[in-house]
A and B are shown apart, each in its own frame.
Chain A
Amino acid sequence: MRKFDTKVQYLKYKVLREVARHAFEDRLMDAYIDIPYTIVPGNEPTMRCCVYKERAIVNERIHMAMGGYKENPNVIEVIDIACDECPMGGYEVTESCRGCLAHRCEDVCPRGAITFDEHQKAHIDKEKCVNCGRCAKVCPYSAIINKRRPCESACKVDAISTSAESKAAQIDNSKCISCGACVYMCPWGAVADKSFIVDVVKMLKESEKDPARKVYAVVAPSISSQFSYAKLGQVVAAIKKLGFHSVVEAALGADMVAYAEAAELAEKGFLTSSCCPAFVDYIHKKFPQMEGHISHNLSPMAAIGQYIKGVDPMAKIVFIGPCTAKKMEFQKESVSPYIDSVLTFEELQALFDSRDMEISQLEEDVLDNASYYGRIFARSGGLSDAVAQALKEQNLDFEAKPVACDGIEACRMALLKASKNVLPGNFIEGMACVGGCIGGAGCLTHEEKNKAEVDKYGREAYEKTISDAIGALK
């Protein structure tokens, strides 16, 4: 049974699972020093130079699983001793250069940075090279490679650099949008997201003692593309078995947001979306001049949280999704009254297994609160479709020209154009992760079929329109 994309995720999961297991048993403080020996038994290293380093790194992972360093406000953090200090230095010519006649590399170099030695082998002048990569693309022998750290390549907002002191990666919090791209891409698991799994276990235990303190799980629609080894209804049953009172679709919050955002768009004439917290953070950090155009609506997560708390003021609400940036969003002053904690799908898997659940053996429960449109928020383009539909349902005479930005680089292009008034559109759907939420760092798997899974789940919704889905809540 393949649960994760990479062994790095699997390792992180094992730590989370053990932490959750001990937290459920009320013995975390006594037992956490044993966890490194559970994860790294014996004397033969399998990951690093020796078992001692492996256990030291596991200790750091335990610390992250228990909430990480509080002094650092960012939920994304580098585990210094886990960083392999990957080689770097940009484009280099390797031994594979055969000293050919064509010299395509030289022809495409816009800076004249390529020279040849007496054997006709290419060399790159680092003083001139601007790392455009054209030489690497045209070399028929693939002899030119880019020595770039995977974390730095993954970070499209240039928030990662190398510490001059330690040579480990470091994150510039003034640029980082907590999207988690580096977390997913680091082959060593040296960048990690802090976990609130212990807080959630505590909430569930309190609820067990006092049933009036209900804990609600608000699940993101991308859940339909996850846990592929079981049926969605079984996953819902498993969430309830953990002690959650009810499982509610964040997609219903998305329906509410689409409805309100459409009206706001018609009123203001230009808007950027509010649902992706990494995108919203990016505007604040990189395009402060565009801040006034961010939709004033809450995100779907916060909107549905607000509604539930309105009905049940004692409720504790945990958002479960694919997103590490949501772990920042729920701490914001405007959102913290409505959401009490955030888990990723990785962490949910760890919770299930900490209770040794056989999910595929459970009887199927149901999950149905939202419309097709709320559900397709999980993939790029879904929000744009939903806003167009909401305009139609409200009979608003306004033509939406959405620009669906798939990934933070596309967001940057659109924001740049919009800031110069040359964007051919009036609504920017910003999704920091490529593919939308289904590309989120907290997903168990990132597969091609995930988009189709989300659309299929959307079509299965009982309510066909946004108005129908939110009609009962008014």
Chain B
Amino acid sequence: MNIYVCVGSSCHLKGSYQIIELMKKALEDHGLTDQVNLSAAFCLGKCTHGVTIKVDDEIVTGVSPETFPDIFQKYILTPVKG
């Protein structure tokens, strides 16, 4: 699985670096670092919807520290664990 966190200017200012840290930690905690590639992308084209991530080909917007646990569960943990 490939995850891209947008670090374009707009998402950066909305806290995408914090999301990357949360993502790194969550992947480690669940022992997924070998199965999931995490990269930074320069703009996923959804600049007005909060921090944006892309999980394989699916775009997820409005990621924040509050919404992160649910999003991680739904888009990453559930599909990976099958």
Interface centre among B8, B13, B39 (most CB of A within 10 A): B8
A362: shortest Cβ distance to chain B, in Å? 14
* B40 close to chain A: CB less than 8 A: yes
A467: shortest Cβ distance to chain B, in Å? 11
Contact of B12 with A246 in the complex, beta carbons under 8 Å: no
* A172 close to chain B: CB less than 8 A: no
Chain A residue nearest in CB terms to B12: A368
Contact of A366 with B13 in the complex, beta carbons under 8 Å: yes
Residue interface bits B13-42, CB-to-A below 8 A is 1, else 0: 100110010000000000000000001111
Residue interface bits A436-465, CB-to-B below 8 A is 1, else 0: 000000000000000000000000001100
Interface size class of A (residues with CB under 8 A): 20 to 34
* A42 close to chain B: CB less than 8 A: no
Q: With contacts A246-B42, A311-B39 known, is A462 near B4, CB below 8 A?
A: no
Q: A246 CA to B9 CA in the complex, in Å?
A: 9
Q: With contacts A248-B42, A472-B5 known, is A366 near B17, CB below 8 A?
A: no
Contact of A311 with B4 in the complex, beta carbons under 8 Å: yes
Per DSSP, chain A at the interface is mixed
Contact of A369 with B17 in the complex, beta carbons under 8 Å: no
**Chain A residues near B9 (CB, 8 Å)?**
236, 247-249, 365-369
Chain A residue nearest in CB terms to B16: A472
Q: With contacts A311-B4, A369-B7 known, is A216 near B13, CB below 8 A?
A: no
Residue interface bits A285-328, CB-to-B below 8 A is 1, else 0: 00000000000000000000000101110000000000000000
Q: A366 CA to B16 CA in the complex, in Å?
A: 14
Q: With contacts A366-B10, A368-B9 known, is A245 near B20, CB below 8 A?
A: no
* A87 close to chain B: CB less than 8 A: no
* B43 close to chain A: CB less than 8 A: yes
Contact of A308 among B12, B42, B47 (CB under 8 A): B42
Q: A369 CA to B6 CA in the complex, in Å?
A: 11
Chain B residue nearest in CB terms to A211: B45
B47: shortest Cβ distance to chain A, in Å? 8
Contact of B8 with A246 in the complex, beta carbons under 8 Å: yes
A contact set with B: CB distance below 8 Å: 216, 236, 245-249, 308, 310-312, 365-369, 462-463, 468, 471-473
B contact set with A: CB distance below 8 Å: 4-5, 7-10, 12-13, 16-17, 20, 39-43, 45, 47
What 6 A-B pairs are tightest by C-beta distance, nearest first? A246-B43, A366-B9, A368-B9, A472-B17, A472-B20, A246-B42
Listed A/B pairs (27) with beta-carbon separation below 8 Å: A245-B45, A246-B8, A246-B42, A246-B43, A248-B8, A248-B42, A249-B9, A310-B39, A311-B39, A311-B40, A365-B9, A365-B10, A366-B13, A368-B9, A369-B8, A369-B42, A462-B12, A463-B17, A468-B17, A471-B17, A471-B20, A472-B5, A472-B7, A472-B17, A472-B20, A472-B40, A473-B40
